[in-house]
Amino acid sequence: MQSAMAKENPSERQAAPAFQGDTDQLLNARIVIVDDEPTTMEVVKAYLEETGYRNFVLIEDSSRALATLERQRPDLLLLDLKMPQVSGFDLLRDIRLHPKLNHLPVIILTSSSDNQDKLQALDLGATDFLAKPVDSSELQLQLRVRNTLAAKAYQDRLTFYDPLTQLPNRHLFMESLDWGLTSARDDEEKLALLCIELDQFDKIRDTMGLLAGDEILRQFTLRFQKVVKGIDMMGRMEVDEYVPVNLFRLDGGVFTLILHRIHSERDAASVAACLLEAIRSVLLVKNTELYLTASIGIATYPMEEGDSHFMLQLASSAKDHVKANGGGTFQFSSRRINTQYQQRLSLEARLRKTLDRNELKIYYQPKVEVQTNRIAGVEALLRWQINEATIIPPDKFIPIAEETGLIIPIGQWVMGEACRQLSAWQRGGIAPIGMAVNLSPAQFQNKQMPAVFKQIVKNSGISPQSMTLEVTENMFLDDVDRKIESMRHLKDQGIKLALDDFGTGYSSLSYLKNLPLDELKIDRSFFIDLFKDAKSRALVSTMIYLSRSLNLTTIAEGVETDEQLSFLKKSACDLYQGYLFSRPLPPDELFEMLLPANG
């Protein structure tokens, strides 16, 4: 049985399709009774409840019946013929014409001994009859209901499930996709449809035979189900026990997967990558080792807008496109997302080689004392120099480095390079300054980080007290205790900690008192409107006051004008950073600035 409630995914209702012998599934069937006499309905219900049925909807007003049936999608309807307003005949006729209700089994409740009525109801598609009053035919009622439901369950199984893989088939897929798109629209959620085809399936089946083909499909179904079960997407997707049935087999070597409630297109890409990985590992069929690949096309809502047929067509043509180009990968149906992904993939591939190729550079931006304009320190800012003319800013590649884990070696390199540079400058005779390095949340996930950093600082010969690590507020969204512990390790070595981009992230201030901080950096967004907006001035003054009260050094970021600087002087801000004093500069240019003659 595959009927569904208003907000219930049709494929979720029953992970395992009900079968004739499966009593519990039968007892769970949804039974609607339409009769203008409430007592009749109550009696029928009471008898059926005695047997164990538990899922009833009673409708007295037959004019509301069709709408309720559409919403409830029951497994069985018990219908009175003689009713005011809409008669049982009318309703039966409407049901048989309804695209989604036309297979609904209908048992007619009739006191009428009029055979003409019965014949007419049969003509209109009644499944069976029950004589009213029901109390005299209790056993008959049980038997008729049970048999009708069992027949429907069997029929549903044949209609909605693929006998080879036991996966729901194209019919149930189309219903689920319809449902998914409607819910996604109603709840403003994102949905992805993956269309998956095993690349060499037809060829292998032709050469190894039909049975081998079946075996391949069964084995891949198991692998796909395992992937779907294992999707955790770092909490980005809601996964429940029903997820496996969101996998469908359409025909031949073609499967589909519906991902409900995804957070971004990237979720769909990750699942596609996992499926491809699962397919790639060797398959043993008839003592032959097979290496297969698949082509996957992905259509996402709301990026694409259309009905279920349109979405399937999009995903399927994206899949065909992959296949025509040799298979073994995935592609989005939207050109825009595809281009983004192509760019991202090539950037990712290049990023993996940056360290070997010496393409990463560090620029340094002075941190300057507000009152004296003396350089108190510098901040190391990473640049990726792809070639002589092209420099990629950190915002473009740090997120990729974070996702791929490359941030760990890159972060260690930055730390090593910044320490080495400071040591070289010191040997070059500059006045003592501090060095600040930015850290991503992902680096704090790495348990070894504090120890590794300690070693790096030690090897460079500089004092740990001259180092500051800058972290952002979004770092404390999860796993706070662990991260605070890592911060304390760093502090114990003498390294200072700054809270970067303050005021833009996490909204709770209570964490400020728990963090072992030394500096607070007010985000540059507050300075953009400083003189257009009195509220920005109020916020900046308050943040400076807050920072002072907590005994922290306050730094203003992104100071571009003299007016901004004089405001900071009046507000007793300690340090500032910004284009007014200097942009981030390559090390040799900054060295010139640091030499005593220029200081």
Q: Which is nearer to Mg ion, 162 or 470 (CB)?
A: 470
Partner whose binding site includes residue 94, from Mg ion, ligand C2E, none (CB under 5 to 8 Å by kind): none
Q: In this complex, which beta carbon is closest to ligand C2E, that of residue 93 or of residue 344? A: 344
Q: What residue 434 binds from Mg ion, ligand C2E, none (CB within 5 to 8 A, per partner kind)? A: none
Could you tell me how many helices (H) and strands (E) the chain has, helices first? 23, 21
Give the strand pairing for 283-285 and 288-290: antiparallel
Q: Tell me: does residue 395 bind ligand C2E (CB under 6 A).
A: yes
Cβ atoms of 503 and 412 closer than 8 Å: no
Give the distance from CA 389 to its chain's centroid: 37
Phi, psi of 191, deg, nearest 5: -135, 145
Nearest to ligand C2E of 304, 500 (CB atom)? 500
What is the token pair recorded at 377? 């320190």
Q: Of the listed pieces 33-41, 181-189, 323-331, 553-561, which binds ligand C2E according to CB under 6 A?
A: 553-561
Residue 91 in contact with residue 79, Cβ under 8 Å? Answer: yes
Residue 91's H or E segment, with its range, is: helix 88-97
Nearer to ligand C2E, 14 or 438 (CB): 438
Which range, of 197-205, 331-339, 388-396, 488-496, touches ligand C2E by CB under 6 A? Answer: 388-396
Task: Lay out the site mask for ligand C2E across 354-373 (x = CB under 6 A, - = otherwise).
Answer: -----------x--------
Burial 519-530 (b: 16+ CB within 10 A, else e): bbbbbbebbeeb
What the block records as the tokens of 411 is: 């972060």
Tell the residue number behind the tokens 């032959």, with chain if given. Answer: 288
Strand-strand pairing, 467-472 and 496-502: parallel
Segment holding 227, helix H or strand E: helix 210-230
Local structure of 118: helix, strand or coil? helix
Of 63, 155, 82, give the one whose Cα is nearest residue 120.
82
Q: Of 155-163, 207-215, 541-549, 578-586, which part binds ligand C2E (CB under 6 A)?
A: 578-586
Partner from ligand C2E, Mg ion, none binding residue 464, C-beta < 5-8 Å depending on class: none
At 343, which amino acid appears?
Answer: Q
Which option in ligand C2E, Mg ion, none does residue 165 bind, with CB closer than 5 to 8 A by kind?
Answer: none
User: What DSSP assignment string belongs to 562-576?
Assistant: HHHHHHHHHTT--EE
DSSP 406: T
Q: Does 501 participate in binding ligand C2E (rule CB under 6 A)?
A: yes
Residue with tokens 């008898």: 47
Angstrom distances, CA of residue 491 to CA of 443, 518, 593: 16, 10, 30
Strand boundaries in 132-280, DSSP class E: 190-198, 247-251, 254-262
- 438 near ligand C2E, rule: CB under 6 A: yes
CB atoms within 10 A of CB 73: 21
Distance CA 272, CA 278 (A): 10
**Least distance (Å) between residue 525 CB and ligand C2E:** 10
Question: Which of ligand C2E, Mg ion, none does residue 395 bind to, with CB < 5 to 8 Å depending on kind?
Answer: ligand C2E
Unique residue bearing structure tokens 């049925």: 53
Q: Per rule CB under 6 A, is residue 558 in the interface with ligand C2E?
A: yes
Per-residue interface string for the shown chain with ligand C2E, residues 506-525, x marking contact by CB under 6 A: ------------------x-
Among 504, 560, 585, 593, binds ligand C2E (CB under 6 A): 560
Q: Are strands 283-285 and 519-522 parallel, antiparallel or unpaired?
A: unpaired
Q: Minimum CB separation from ligand C2E for residue 560, in Å?
A: 5
- Site of interaction with Mg ion (CB under 5 A): 438, 470, 500-501, 557
Beta bridge partners of 259: 192
Among 191, 314, 368, 398, binds ligand C2E (CB under 6 A): 398
Is 27 or 593 the residue whose CB approaches ligand C2E more closely?
593
Shortest distance in whole angstroms from residue 548 CB to ligand C2E: 21
Binding mask 406-425 for ligand C2E (x = CB under 6 A): -----x--x-----------
**Stretch of 2-10, 96-104, 338-346, 577-585 contacting ligand C2E, by CB under 6 A:** 577-585
Sorted by sequence, the CB contacts under 8 Å of residue 424 that are 6+ apart come out as none
By CB under 6 A, name the one of 162, 577, 590, 594 that touches ligand C2E: 577
Residues touching ligand C2E, count (CB under 6 A): 24
381, 457, 498, 575: which one contacts ligand C2E (CB under 6 A)? Answer: 381
Please choose which of ligand C2E, Mg ion, none residue 579 contacts, taking the beta carbon within 5 to 8 angstroms, the exact cut-off set by kind. Answer: ligand C2E
Question: CB of residue 164 vs ligand C2E: minimum separation in angstroms?
Answer: 50
* In the complex, least distance from residue 500 CB atom to Mg ion, rounded to whole angstroms: 4
Among 394, 416, 464, 505, binds ligand C2E (CB under 6 A): 394
Task: State in angstroms the smallest separation of the CB of 352 from ligand C2E.
Answer: 17
Give the nearest distance from C-beta 391 to ligand C2E in angstroms. Answer: 10
Q: Residue 173: helix, strand or coil by DSSP?
A: helix
Q: Are strands 190-198 and 294-301 parallel, antiparallel or unpaired?
A: antiparallel
With beta carbons less than 8 A apart as the criterion, state whether 470 and 438 touch: yes
**Residue with nearest beta carbon to ligand C2E:** 578
Tell me which of 474, 579, 592, 595 binds ligand C2E, using CB under 6 A.
Answer: 579
Name, in order, each residue with C-beta under 8 angstroms of 357's C-beta and a sequence gap of 6 or more: none
Question: CA-CA distances (angstroms) from residue 336 to 65, 104, 145, 560?
Answer: 46, 44, 54, 36
Contact with ligand C2E (CB under 6 A): which of 156, 304, 500, 519? Answer: 500
Least gap, CB of 500 to ligand C2E (angstroms): 5
Binding site for ligand C2E (CB under 6 A): 365, 381-382, 393-395, 398, 411, 414, 438-440, 470, 500-501, 524, 557-560, 577-579, 584
